[in-house]
Amino acid sequence: MEKQYLIDDFKAGEAWRLFKIVGEFVEGTDTLHDIGPAVSIFGSARTSPEDPIYKKTEEIAELFAKNNFAVITGGGGGIMEAANKGAARANGVSIGLNILLPFEQTPNKYSNVNLNFKYFFIRKVMFVKYASAYIIMPGGFGTLDELFEAVTLIQTKRIKPLPVILVGSDYWSGLVDWIKLRLVEEKKISPDDIEIFQVLDHPEEILKAVQKYVIL
């Protein structure tokens, strides 16, 4: 596999690498342009199938697929696998946007539309461009990155508003409290910015929250 420090590796005279970047954009757009309404589901790659969160993710994805939403994930294990599995079980469109990494890079077997990316930023564009909603399950740095990427794009009006739903009040309450205590009270963000996302727990209410914003 090629060395991983792809951004640092740009050097003078290597503009040819831009063609690879354009190629990933073209392949992603050609593959996903007609998938219809979709939800992007994020969460930890380290979540085991025995974890209740894995089971809940399966349930959420299956529910969306049964209601004519495609399901988009990062294509790997853990929460991503659970979401693809739930969508596939409902015979829905189950999309995996895999990133090539030295670890946690094996695509799961439950996606029926697969793309592989070298560049995180291209992959992130695909998550945003083709999603009608962001569903954020418990996760780590990568999950937080996707969460705040979407929130920032909505806050700065670079994309149209879409539902951003944090699943699991017990998991996310500390982060939400910190945002209110520090960011809002210290005027680092506007009070209205806290309305960009919501915290929900039950699959049916998550589906209804998305359906309010999406015309199928």
C-beta separation of 112 from 134 below 8 A: no
From the list 38, 37, 43, 36, the residue with the least C-alpha distance to 58 is: 43
The two three-digit tokens of residue 104, written as one number: 């946690």
Confidence of residue 18 (pLDDT cuts 50, 70, 90): confident
For the stretch 100-131, pLDDT in tens is: 876 656 789 999 999 999 999 999 999 999 99
Q: How many angstroms separate the Cα of 212 from the Cα of each of 22, 68, 122, 134, 216? A: 35, 14, 29, 14, 11
For the stretch 161-188, pLDDT in tens is: 999 999 999 999 999 999 999 999 999 9
Using CA atoms, how far apart are residues 75 and 95, in angstroms rounded to an integer?
A: 7
Task: Give me the pLDDT at residue 1, please.
Answer: 46
Using CA atoms, how far apart are residues 127 and 72, in angstroms rounded to an integer?
A: 7
Task: Give me the pLDDT at residue 100, please.
Answer: 82
Task: Give me the pLDDT at residue 106, please.
Answer: 77
The two three-digit tokens of residue 153, written as one number: 């794009």
C-beta separation of 183 from 148 below 8 A: no
C-beta separation of 123 from 35 below 8 A: no
Query: What is the pLDDT averaged over residues 174-203?
Result: 97
Residue 16 has pLDDT above 80, yes or no: no
Task: Give me the pLDDT at residue 13, please.
Answer: 57
C-beta separation of 201 from 168 below 8 A: yes
DSSP symbol at 38: E
pTM summary value: 0.90
Task: Give me the pLDDT at residue 180, please.
Answer: 96
Domains along the chain?
36-170+198-211 (3.40.50.450)
Residue 65 has pLDDT above 60, yes or no: yes
